[in-house]
């Protein structure tokens, strides 16, 4: 943490005068609040002291003093804030960028108390008569005198001890004046920097989720503590200020000898602190008039806007908003939708209500330099964030233990919104690869956790950050997709609409959603489910993991069992359902869809699934359910025979599923490894992306386990044989690589064909990519490489090149003006096989003048993916763990990926012992949001060791015989 300095009285008084004009608004809001409370008394979900609004205290053993607990007490609720902020975009005399501010919050007392706990972190507060805050009563209330104030660092509180108790039903105003550092730490109110036309520019911007609003101003920083926010921002006159709501006015004046502008904003809707946003910049914008009732703008660096990098985002935003208004049957809740691309931003994007912030790669698309993949990322991330405007922002989870409801829902419907915007892409199919198969890998571990954790399991900021994981996002998406599938989309959206209308501007727990979906079921004739929505879904949300369903087609017997990647691992977390699920099984027989079947117990017999001869059964069609499927050997052989003779009998999704299920069942020792490998034999005939991608992801596990052993040569030879027909196919349809395939996923598969062919040693592929890269080096202004192929070509050329290629890429990276291009180069430079270059690159990652802080941990991961870079990255991280953790690890959502990324290849006893020693040596430093990832890395490494020991010989034999 940087040094902090006390604010001068003059600055404090100036801010007080500026803020005074908004007090009338606060008082009016307070009166409106009381009227609304009286009006809503008795309505479900509107009780101000009920479970839908206030956070409940944790049930676990708690410290004796309230300020030592991470959860706020339930004695006070905020009603409205008046916040004025002044970020300084030049360093002060002490070499620091700072901001100053003033806040008044109207609070309502709902239980007698002589304590006010309000979050405040890394803020220096001015004093009033020796206290860090000032309290006064509203209307007829008389405020008690402040007895004492102090800070609690661990729980991030300002504690205000009063001389007597506050009166129940009375309202008060708590006032603070403060200063903070506008640091480059990507948290709270922070600064972002970039160079434009040789000039360094500074942006003041914010990231409040999950617990960083308290770093911008003192506030009740929990999602259920919703309030109305009146925001004013002071800034230089050549800059623009943005916040969540529309601008309501501007005023220019001279303050402390500076020409300053004050921008004020309309009062927000009732909202959570984590959704606030404040930005000051000299960015430009594009505006759309697609939606008459709504202002839609895309903001970015002036050059990015001039180069039309915001045009695509603007073109899809209106379509997606219209889709969600229809899907939810609820009008967009705000009067504007601003989206802004930031040079420095830790997450991919953040759904601040009315002012969504993005990494540049997630919002900007250059029509000349960006790839199809970049375009898809833009539309899916926009779709994800806009989904939150209703689900998450309008209606918000009560506490972070139910984060999955926000993120899982947005991760599911992002595909629906993107599909509406780009209907020819078949984007809905990709949820199988990017979410379902992805999360299966994590949820099959004994160290997984349920979607919805108990409140007492999620308390401190590190535990909250840890919830932003694959389970919350991807498992949430998978089970909600399954739920929508067995209820039907119309029933699902009917329940959603009712839920959103009932709890608008309030907070909920996940069972509130089940209530409204159940009501939709009961009010829709012909919808038949075997149990209530609650009873079915509790088994998917309150216990971790998922089942493997085994169908014996000789008898029709169907069984389920908790699927574990390591069958010898011990599951220590108990389940009230004994790890059984209510499983909706969509299935087909001989290519004909059958009536859905529900498996409601551990074992059952379903006689229609009994077949013989050449007849076959395929279950979980289009992977509609969140489970894996195993069969008797006879049925497996029939499915593999069909793959080899007529693979298009199965949909592309089911071809991918057969491969993915087989490989993972083999890893779990449920079927033989050679059976899994046999699912790849037909690939020489496969031309579709999703099955190929599924196969390559599974074969990548074999590459990671064996690329340091003698098995790798045989594996390379086999994959080279399988990929060559695909490589030649794309060479033919692109007229010897001169055009690009027309289909969206075909373009992705062309990338696969070139990437695998080159890495598996196809000579013509290596020559092709090296030639393209050399031409670019000779004429940097005109690259012959299509944007779709750049990531692959850059990596291959740098891997087979040397210092000259690396230094050229570094030069192009430093001068890149398109974020997607910079990202490709940053990844590709990790592909070099030259150890000293990799070591130097690792050093660069911790130098923000070379690699942005937002990109540091992902760059280390890229280096670790390189078989030469792995030991270098591992040594680097161990040697600098304390620094890396302090700078990047305490709250970063992506920090867990650093641990899981570096340890992916670990498969020896020596590596396991090193991992355990690393844990032991750094217990004092801590692991923050990577704590669970470290436990899972140890579990995965243990499983890898066993798997390699058991399978190495037969895998070598199989690849040798089949190549």
pLDDT digits (tens, 9 = 90+) for 521-571: 999 999 999 999 999 999 999 999 999 999 999 999 999 999 999 998 999
Lowest mean pLDDT among 98-112, 185-199, 307-321, 821-835: 185-199
Task: Collapse the DSSP code of 172 into the 3-class scheme (helix H, G, I; strand E, B; otherwise coil) and give the result.
Answer: strand
Give me the pLDDT at residue 892, please. 55
* Cβ-contact 873, 912 below 8 angstroms: no
pLDDT band, residue 924 (cuts 50/70/90): confident
Give me the pLDDT at residue 893, please. 54
Q: Which residue has tokens 């012959």?
A: 784
> What percent of the chain has pLDDT above 70?
93
Alpha-carbon separation of residue 711 from 702, 865, 869, 953 (angstroms): 9, 19, 20, 9
> Distance between CA 884 and CA 513 in Å, rounded?
40
> Distance between CA 545 and CA 451 in Å, rounded?
9
Question: Residue 102 above 80 pLDDT?
Answer: yes
Question: ∠ at Cα 415 (414, 419), nearest 5°?
Answer: 120
CB-CB neighbours of 891 under 10 Å: 24
Rounded average pLDDT over 745-774: 95
Give me the pLDDT at residue 12, please. 38
More reliable by pLDDT, 890 or 54: 890
Give me the pLDDT at residue 889, please. 65
Q: Beta 547-552 vs 628-631: how paired, if at all? A: parallel
Three-class DSSP labels, 226-249? CEEEEEEEEEECCCEEEECCCEEE
Question: Residue 35 above 50 pLDDT?
Answer: no
Mean pLDDT, the chain, whole residue set:
91
* Cβ-contact 29, 487 below 8 angstroms: no
Rounded average pLDDT over 495-505: 96
Residue (of 682, 605, 687) closest to 642 by Cα position: 682
pLDDT band, residue 109 (cuts 50/70/90): very high
Question: Residue 43 above 80 pLDDT?
Answer: no
Question: Residue 944 above 80 pLDDT?
Answer: yes
104, 385, 422, 805: which one is catalytic?
385
Question: Residue 704 above 70 pLDDT?
Answer: yes
More reliable by pLDDT, 466 or 676: 676
Rounded average pLDDT over 380-406: 96
Strand order in the sheet with 113-119: 113-119, 157-166, 146-152
Q: Is 385 a catalytic residue?
A: yes
Question: Residue 243 above 50 pLDDT?
Answer: yes
Question: Residue 876 above 80 pLDDT?
Answer: yes
> Distance between CA 514 and CA 495 in Å, rounded?
9
Query: Residue 341: phi, psi to the nearest 5?
Result: -100, 125
Rounded average pLDDT over 395-415: 95
Question: Residue 514 above 80 pLDDT?
Answer: yes
* Cβ-contact 426, 391 below 8 angstroms: no
pLDDT band, residue 31 (cuts 50/70/90): very low
> Distance between CA 381 and CA 389 in Å, rounded?
13
Question: ∠ at Cα 242 (227, 23), nearest 5°?
Answer: 45
Two structure tokens written together for 764: 């013509």
What is the distance, to the nearest Å, from the Cα of residue 209 to the centroid of all Cα atoms in its chain?
A: 12
More reliable by pLDDT, 922 or 43: 922
Separation of first and last alpha carbons in the chain:
57
Give me the pLDDT at residue 258, please. 86
Q: Render pLDDT for 245-296 as a digit per residue (tens, 0 to 9).
A: 999 999 999 987 889 999 999 999 999 999 999 999 999 999 987 677 799 9
Q: Render pLDDT for 721-749 as a digit per residue (tens, 0 to 9).
A: 999 999 999 999 999 999 999 999 999 99
> Distance between CA 791 and CA 801 in Å, rounded?
15
Give me the pLDDT at residue 62, please. 54
Question: Residue 519 above 50 pLDDT?
Answer: yes
Give me the pLDDT at residue 896, please. 80
Give me the pLDDT at residue 78, please. 98
Question: Residue 779 above 90 pLDDT?
Answer: yes
More reliable by pLDDT, 675 or 62: 675
Two structure tokens written together for 253: 């004046």
pLDDT band, residue 477 (cuts 50/70/90): very high
Residue (of 520, 474, 529) closest to 498 by Cα position: 520
Give me the pLDDT at residue 58, please. 37
């Amino acid at each position: 943490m940087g040094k902090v300095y006390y604010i001068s009285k003059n600055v404090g008084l100036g801010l007080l005068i500026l803020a005074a004009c908004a007090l009338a608004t606060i008082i009016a809001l307070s009166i409106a609040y009381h009227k609304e409370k009286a009006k809503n008394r008795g309505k479900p979900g509107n009780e101000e002291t009920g479970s839908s609004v206030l956070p409940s205290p944790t049930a676990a053993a708690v410290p004796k003093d309230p300020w030592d607990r991470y959860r706020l007490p339930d004695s006070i609720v905020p009603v409205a804030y008046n916040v004025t902020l002044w970020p300084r975009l030049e360093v002060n005399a002490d070499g620091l960028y700072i901001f100053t501010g003033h806040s008044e919050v109207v609070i309502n007392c709902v239980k007698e108390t002589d304590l006010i706990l309000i979050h405040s972190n890394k803020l220096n507060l001015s004093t009033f008569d020796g206290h860090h805050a000032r309290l006064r009563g509203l209307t007829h209330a008389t405020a008690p005198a402040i007895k004492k104030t102090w800070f609690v660092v661990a729980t991030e509180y300002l504690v205000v001890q009063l001389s007597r108790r506050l009166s129940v039903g009375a309202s008060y105003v708590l006032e603070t004046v403060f200063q903070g550092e506008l640091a480059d730490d990507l948290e709270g109110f922070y600064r972002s920097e970039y160079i434009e036309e040789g000039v360094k520019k500074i942006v003041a911007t914010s990231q409040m989720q999950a617990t960083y609003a308290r770093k911008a101003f003192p506030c009740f920083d929990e999602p259920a503590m919703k309030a109305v926010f009146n925001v004013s921002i002071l800034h230089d006159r050549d800059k623009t200020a943005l916040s969540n709501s529309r601008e309501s006015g501007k005023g220019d004046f001279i303050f402390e000898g500076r020409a300053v502008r004050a921008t004020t904003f309309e009062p927000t809707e009732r909202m959570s602190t984590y959704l606030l946003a404040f930005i000051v910049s000299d960015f430009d914008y594009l505006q759309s008039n697609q939606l008459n009732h709504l202002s839609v703008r895309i903001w970015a660096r002036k050059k990015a806007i001039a180069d039309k990098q915001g045009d695509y985002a603007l073109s899809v935003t209106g379509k997606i908003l219209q889709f969600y208004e229809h899907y939810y049957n609820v009008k967009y809740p705000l009067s504007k939708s601003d989206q802004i691309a930031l040079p420095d931003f830790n997450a991919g994007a953040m759904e601040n209500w009315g002012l969504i912030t993005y990494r540049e790669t997630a919002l900007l698309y250059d029509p000349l330099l960006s790839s199809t993949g970049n375009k898809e990322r833009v539309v899916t991330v926009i779709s994800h964030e806009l989904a939150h405007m209703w689900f998450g922002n309008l209606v918000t989870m009560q506490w972070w233990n139910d984060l999955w409801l926000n993120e899982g829902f947005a991760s599911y419907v992002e595909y629906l919104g993107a599909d509406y915007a780009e209907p020819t892409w078949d984007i809905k199919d990709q949820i199988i690869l990017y979410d379902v198969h992805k999360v299966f890998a994590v949820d099959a571990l004994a160290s997984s956790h349920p979607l919805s954790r108990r409140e007492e399991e999620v308390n401190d900021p590190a535990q909250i950050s840890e919830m932003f994981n694959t389970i919350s996002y991807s498992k949430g998406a998978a089970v909600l997709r399954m739920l929508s599938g067995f209820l039907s989309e119309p029933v699902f959206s009917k329940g959603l609409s009712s839920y959103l209308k009932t709890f608008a501007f309030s907070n909920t727990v996940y069972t509130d959603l089940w209530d409204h979906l159940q009501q939709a079921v009961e009010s829709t004739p012909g919808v038949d489910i075997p149990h209530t929505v609650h009873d079915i879904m509790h088994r998917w949300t309150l216990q971790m993991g998922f089942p493997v369903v085994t169908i014996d087609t000789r008898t029709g017997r169907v069984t389920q069992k908790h699927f574990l990647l390591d069958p010898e691992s011990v599951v220590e977390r108990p389940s009230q359902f004994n790890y059984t699920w209510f499983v909706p099984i969509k299935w087909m027989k001989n290519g004909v869809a059958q009536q859905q079947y529900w498996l409601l117990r551990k074992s059952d017999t379903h006689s229609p699934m009994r077949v013989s001869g050449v007849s076959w059964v395929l279950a979980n069609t289009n992977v509609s359910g969140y489970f894996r499927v195993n069969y008797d050997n006879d049925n497996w052989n029939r499915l593999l025979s069909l793959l080899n003779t007529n693979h298009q009998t199965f949909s592309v999704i089911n071809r991918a599923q057969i491969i993915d299920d087989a490989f993972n069942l083999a890893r779990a020792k449920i079927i033989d490894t050679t059976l899994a490998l046999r699912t790849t034999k037909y690939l020489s005939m496969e031309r579709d992306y999703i099955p190929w991608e599924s196969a390559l992801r599974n074969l990548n596990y074999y590459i990671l386990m064996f690329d340091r052993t003698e098995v790798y040569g045989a594996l390379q030879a086999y994959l080279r044989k399988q990929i060559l027909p695909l490589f030649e196919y794309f060479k033919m349809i692109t007229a010897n690589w001169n055009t690009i395939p027309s289909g969206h996923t075909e373009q992705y598969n062309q990338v696969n064909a070139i990437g695998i062919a080159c890495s598996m040693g196809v000579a013509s592929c290596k020559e092709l990519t090296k030639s393209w890269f050399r031409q670019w080096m000779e004429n940097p202004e005109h690259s012959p490489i299509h944007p779709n192929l750049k990531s692959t070509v850059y990596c291959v050329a740098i891997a087979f090149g040397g210092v000259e290629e690396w230094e050229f890429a570094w030069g192009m990276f430093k001068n890149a003006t398109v974020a997607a291009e910079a990202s490709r180069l940053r990844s590709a430079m990790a592909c070099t096989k030259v150890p000293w270059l990799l070591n130097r690159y690792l050093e660069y990652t911790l130098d923000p003048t070379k690699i942005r802080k937002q990109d540091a941990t992902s760059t280390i991961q890229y280096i670790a993916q390189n078989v030469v870079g792995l030991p270098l990255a591992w040594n680097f991280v161990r040697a600098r763990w304390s620094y890396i953790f302090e700078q990047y690890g305490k709250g970063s959502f992506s920090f867990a990926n650093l641990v899981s990324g570096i340890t992916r290849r670990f498969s020896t006893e020596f590596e396991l012992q090193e991992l355990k020693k690393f844990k032991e040596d750094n217990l004092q430093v801590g692991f923050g949001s990577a704590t669970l990832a470290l436990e899972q890395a140890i579990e995965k490494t243990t499983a890898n060791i066993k798997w390699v020991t058991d399978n190495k010989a037969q895998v070598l034999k199989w690849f040798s015989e089949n190549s």
